[in-house]
Amino acid sequence: MLFHPRIFDSFKGYNRTLLIKDVLAGITVGIVALPLAMAFAIASGLKPETGIFTAIVAGGLISLLGGSRVQIGGPAGAFIVIVYGIVEHYGVANLLVATAMSGVFLLLMGIFRLGTLVRFIPVAVIIGFTNGIAVLIGLSQIKDFFGLSIDKMPAEFFQAIQALYQAADTVNPTALAIACGSLAIIIVWKLIQRHLGWFSHLPGTVVAMVAATIITSLLNLPIDTIGTRFGGIPSSLPHLEWLPISWSTAQFMIAPALTLALLGAIESLLCARIADGLIHDRHESNQELMAQGIANIVSPFFGGMPATGTIARTVTNIESGGTTPLAGIVHSLTLLLVILFAAPLAKNIPLASLAAILMYVAWNMGEWKKFVDLKQFRLPYRLTILSVFILTVVLDLTVAVQVGLLSAFITFIYRISSLSRCEPADPNLFPELNQHRGQIDAYRIYGAIFFGAVKLLEKIEENLPSRTLILDLKNVIYIDTSGMETLAELTHLCKIRNITLIICGLDHQPYEMAQRSAYLESIKPDCLYPDLSSGIAAAIAN
pLDDT at residue 503 is higher than 90: yes
The verdict on 452 and 358 lying in the same domain is no
- Once rounded to an integer, what is the mean pLDDT over residues 443-450? 92
**In sequence order, what E strands does 134-226 have?**
none
pLDDT at residue 463 is higher than 70: yes
- Length of the chain counted residue by residue: 542
Residue 227 lies in a domain: yes
- Once rounded to an integer, what is the mean pLDDT over residues 299-313? 92
Residue 462 lies in a domain: yes
**In sequence order, what E strands does 121-165 have?**
none
Residue 429 lies in a domain: yes
The verdict on 338 and 433 lying in the same domain is no
Residue 391 lies in a domain: no
pLDDT at residue 431 is higher than 70: yes
Averaged pLDDT score across all residues of the chain: 88
Which CATH number do you get for residue 437?
Answer: 3.30.750.24
- Once rounded to an integer, what is the mean pLDDT over residues 275-287? 88
Domain that holds residue 323: 17-146+157-343+353-366
The verdict on 426 and 325 lying in the same domain is no
CA dihedral over 289, 294, 299, 305, signed as positive or negative: positive
The verdict on 22 and 101 lying in the same domain is yes
Helix/strand/coil percentages in the chain, nearest 5? 70, 5, 25
**Nearest C-alpha neighbor of 179 from the set 141, 152, 151, 150:** 141
Give the global pTM: 0.78
- Once rounded to an integer, what is the mean pLDDT over residues 337-353? 88
Of 298, 331, 366, the residue at which a domain comes to its end is 366
The verdict on 108 and 192 lying in the same domain is yes
What percent of the chain lies above the pLDDT cut of 90? 44
- Once rounded to an integer, what is the mean pLDDT over residues 521-537? 88
- Once rounded to an integer, what is the mean pLDDT over residues 196-213? 82
pLDDT at residue 319 is higher than 90: no
User: Within 13 Å and on the Cβ side, how many CA atoms surround 506?
Assistant: 21
pLDDT of residue 65: 95
CA angle 400-361-81, nearest 5°? Answer: 35
pLDDT of residue 337: 92
What percent of the chain lies above the pLDDT cut of 70? 99
The verdict on 120 and 207 lying in the same domain is yes
- Any residues with CB less than 8 A from the CB of 240 and at least 6 apart, and which? 301, 302
Q: Which of 88-97, 182-191, 411-420 has the lowest mean pLDDT?
A: 411-420
pLDDT at residue 396 is higher than 80: no
Could you tell me the CA-to-CA distances from 359 to 72, 145, 182, 198, 339 in Å, in that order?
A: 21, 9, 11, 24, 25
The verdict on 432 and 529 lying in the same domain is yes
The verdict on 239 and 334 lying in the same domain is yes
CA distance 357 to 351: 10
pLDDT at residue 528 is higher than 80: yes
Of 303, 333, 366, the residue at which a domain comes to its end is 366
The verdict on 202 and 323 lying in the same domain is yes
CA distance 264 to 182: 29
Could you tell me the CA-to-CA distances from 214 to 34, 356, 523 in Å, in that order?
A: 17, 16, 85
Residue 7 lies in a domain: no
pLDDT at residue 239 is higher than 90: no
As beta bridge partners, residue 471 has 443, 503
* 487 or 377, which is more confident: 487
The verdict on 532 and 428 lying in the same domain is yes
Residue 373 lies in a domain: no
CA distance 344 to 539: 91
pLDDT of residue 203: 76
Residue 478 has φ and ψ, to the nearest 5°, of -155, 145
pLDDT, tens digit, for every residue of 351-382? 999 999 888 888 887 788 888 777 777 888 88
* 127 or 185, which is more confident: 185
pLDDT of residue 177: 96
Q: Which class for 16: exposed (0-12), middle (13-18), buried (19 or more C-beta within 10 A)?
A: exposed
pLDDT at residue 447 is higher than 80: yes
Residue 412 lies in a domain: no
pLDDT of residue 1: 62
CA–centroid distance for 233 within its chain: 32
Query: Which DSSP symbol is given to 531?
Result: S
Q: In b/e form, how buried is each residue of 143-182, taking b as 16+ CB within 10 angstroms?
A: bbbbbbebeebebebeebeebbeebeeeebebbbebbebb
pLDDT, tens digit, for every residue of 285-302? 999 999 999 999 999 999
Residue 409 lies in a domain: no
Our count of domains for the chain comes to 2
pLDDT at residue 329 is higher than 90: yes
The verdict on 318 and 453 lying in the same domain is no
pLDDT, tens digit, for every residue of 109-164? 999 998 877 777 787 888 888 888 888 888 888 999 999 998 878 878 889 899 99
The verdict on 360 and 442 lying in the same domain is no
